[in-house]
Amino acid sequence: MGAGRGPQRAGSPGASRRGGALLVALLAVAGAARAGTLTVLDVQQLRLIAVDAARAPDTQRETEVLVAGGGLAGIAATLALCESGHRVLLCDETDWPGGQLTAQGMAALDDPPLVERCGGTRSYQALREGIRGRYRQGGLLLPDVAAGPRLNPGNCWVGPLACEPRVALAVIEDLLAPLVASGRLVLLRRHRVLRAGRVGARVEWVDLLDLDGGGVTRVLADYLVDATEMGDLLPACGAGFACGAESTDDTGEPSAPVTPDPDCVQAFTYAFILEHLPGESHVIPEPEDYAANRRAQPYSHSTALPDGRGGHRYALLSLFTRTPNLGGSFWTYRRLIDRSLFRPDAYPSDLSLINWPAMDYRGGTLLGDDPAVTLEHLLAARRLSLGFLYWLQTSIDHPGGRGHPELRLAAEAMGTADGLARYPYVREGRRALTLDRLREQDLSRRLNPGRTRGAFFANAVGVGDYAIDLHAGPCAAGDAPAQSSLPFQLPLGLLVSADTENLIPTGKAAGSTHITNGATRTHAVEWALGEAAGVLAAQCLEEGVAPAAVHASTAQLRALQARLVARGVPIYWYRNLSPADADFATAQLAPFASDSARVVAEGSLDWRRP
């Protein structure tokens, strides 16, 4: 443990273990307990697991930090902590760490247009370059393509980089392997939060359930990082959290509803990958509920795209030919592999990721109390996605007729038996009640006329740049189309729980709102939030202070910002400055040094050497 480094006050991990303080178990899982039984949902295997609520742990582990959730935020937090010399236990409920980039199949990265130069941390850029390096080293690219500095294996137009989920997984495993070998990292796949024990404002232990073997591991940690897709640690440890849409009285957001709606959660989606094999037929059996889903969604190949004026318009994309005035076709939008970039024998077809509004499941959320109901939602969402595939294969109108039977579900590309991602793309989870919140008015371009950036936060620990993109869930009539945002900052208080001293929420569990979560759920921002959480936890361990104390102390805050910038984390937005530039640290810290320096910086999106 971090004895001598983490805070040792009454109720802290070290103090309570020495004194044998009474632990109050907060039994909570993603589901309800019945008659002494905890029912746990295994999302990947689509099954319910019954656990005796009185069951004692089978094993116990001690670590400095428990990182729950192996998505991009969890990976980034883990790297930051281990690279600072700390010991971490990282758990994930799937067998593919990497979250939306791997297990969820979302391997066409939703990155800002300028990500190659700015807006991403140094370690995020290393992840992206690792993906490119894998393809270059594979020997399958055409030589001139491999030599290009900004390789995009998919040649897609949703963003500047796409890849196969398996390749992203291999890169992430390469990042984690030396940390595991060094002993600083314990990685537990297929483990999820079961319950937790709390004394006062501190969490003393967390029990993890092995979803395959059934064993229970108790983890004693100085700090907990909630990087789970759905904020699983929050209810387990009794932390305050929000679900769904907050009211406008609560957040002051003009687009928020008058009354809060906890069921107004963004839609989730099961993605899949297709091949295009002309002359062949690969039509799947008609899925259950197909006719009803076709009418209700309805199935369509239209989507909302930026209109160039800060709003969005709906466009019907051509399936295989470039749509006028747009960057490409339906097929190339999230294409993962453009076979024309590779040797002729490398791939029999392009590989295209299909994640389309017509597949968004709006029948319910994944955040309810009954795991059996949640399982039904998962199964219904899978039928919905397969129905969209069946519609593409049999019913979509095109100049040559109706349907494309030559579309093949590439199950091997997703690494699953049925071709759907092993985990749904979860856009919104439980959000911790935190000391700061990122609100619509902090980043909306419409609400900040004349500004070049979003609201200035003196306690910024990262940046982001993505539209406020809401995929309507059960409240289909309540969410407006996506709106353009300004480049924005991420304040420290998003990562500081308002009521749980040693909990650091990050990723989708950080303190955004229902509305701004539409801008913070993307790959680069999730990574930035995770890296900031890891650096915060490291500083708390080394300085013997809690996250709230860092938030309250100007000296601690400036030290944290300096640590982040030294790692290549931007905390202020410049479009002409990368972490590799010699002026990076000077430029990043300048706006926080004085009001006059901030005024100068805010005059332009470019860094200007004094």
Count CB atoms within 10 A of the CB of residue 29.
Answer: 24
| Token reading at 564 | 């982040």
Is the pLDDT at 374 greater than 90? The verdict is yes
Tens of pLDDT, residues 304-356: 766 655 556 677 788 998 877 778 999 999 999 999 999 999 999 999 999 99
pLDDT bucket at 15, cuts 50 / 70 / 90: very low
Average pLDDT over residues 577-585: 96
Q: Which helix (H) or strand (E) holds 248?
A: helix 248-251
Average pLDDT over residues 140-166: 97
Phi, psi of 89 (to 5 degrees): -110, 120
Task: Give the model's pLDDT for residue 307.
Answer: 61
> Helix or strand or coil: residue 339?
helix
Is the pLDDT at 480 greater than 70? The verdict is no
For tokens 């680069």, what's the residue? 524
Give residues with Cβ within 8 angstroms of 226, minimum separation 6.
Answer: 68, 69, 232, 233, 234, 432, 503, 504, 505, 506, 507, 509
Is the pLDDT at 510 greater than 80? The verdict is yes
Task: Give the model's pLDDT for residue 316.
Answer: 78
pTM, full prediction? 0.93
Distance CA 481, CA 519 (A): 13
pLDDT bucket at 477, cuts 50 / 70 / 90: low
Task: Give the model's pLDDT for residue 8.
Answer: 33
Task: Give the model's pLDDT for residue 232.
Answer: 98
Is the pLDDT at 24 greater than 80? The verdict is no
Average pLDDT over residues 395-409: 94
Task: Give the model's pLDDT for residue 310.
Answer: 54
* Of 462 and 8, more confident: 462
Distance CA 577, CA 584 (A): 7
Tens of pLDDT, residues 32-51: 444 499 999 999 999 999 99
Distance CA 254, CA 248 (A): 6
Distance CA 75, CA 579 (A): 20
Q: What percentage of the chain has pLDDT greater than the value 90?
A: 84
The answer to whether position 152 is within a domain reads no
Task: Give the model's pLDDT for residue 2.
Answer: 44
Helix/strand number for the chain, H first, E second: 18, 23
Radius of gyration of the chain (CA): 23
The answer to whether position 319 is within a domain reads yes
Is the pLDDT at 475 greater than 50? The verdict is yes
Task: Give the model's pLDDT for residue 540.
Answer: 99
The answer to whether position 94 is within a domain reads no
Give residues with Cβ within 8 angstroms of 215, minimum separation 6.
Answer: 58, 59, 209
Task: Give the model's pLDDT for residue 360.
Answer: 96
Q: Bridge-partner residues for 425, per DSSP?
A: 269
The answer to whether position 328 is within a domain reads yes
Contact 38, 50 (CB under 8 A): yes
Is the pLDDT at 31 greater than 50? The verdict is no
Average pLDDT over residues 371-378: 98
Which range of residues forms the domain containing residue 356?
Answer: 272-414
Tally of domains in the chain: 1
Instruction: Mean pLDDT check: name the lowest of 135-144, 478-487, 498-507.
Output: 478-487
Nearest to 514 by CA among 221, 257, 277, 287: 257
DSSP string, 516-562: THHHHSSHHHHHHHHHHHHHHHHHHHHHT--HHHHHH-HHHHHHHHH
Instruction: Mean pLDDT check: name the lowest of 17-31, 377-391, 592-606.
Output: 17-31
Tens of pLDDT, residues 251-278: 999 999 999 999 999 999 999 999 999 9
Average pLDDT over residues 578-599: 94
Is the pLDDT at 213 greater than 90? The verdict is yes
Average pLDDT over residues 151-156: 98
Is the pLDDT at 147 greater than 90? The verdict is yes
Average pLDDT over residues 450-460: 96
Contact 397, 318 (CB under 8 A): no
Give residues with Cβ within 8 angstroms of 138, minimum separation 6.
Answer: none
Distance CA 350, CA 355 (A): 16
Tens of pLDDT, residues 284-297: 999 999 999 999 99
The answer to whether position 234 is within a domain reads no
Is the pLDDT at 601 greater than 70? The verdict is yes
C-alpha distances in angstroms, 30 versus 56, 104, 236, 368, 423? Answer: 19, 19, 9, 8, 15
The answer to whether position 586 is within a domain reads no
The answer to whether position 509 is within a domain reads no
Average pLDDT over residues 589-609: 89
For tokens 């297929």, what's the residue? 190
Tens of pLDDT, residues 228-244: 999 999 999 999 999 99
Q: Considering the chain, what is the average pLDDT of its residues?
A: 92
The answer to whether position 489 is within a domain reads no
Average pLDDT over residues 445-474: 95
Task: Give the model's pLDDT for residue 12.
Answer: 34
Strands 24-26 and 191-199: antiparallel
Task: Give the model's pLDDT for residue 363.
Answer: 95
* Of 314 and 448, more confident: 448
Peptide bond into 298 cis (omega under 30): yes
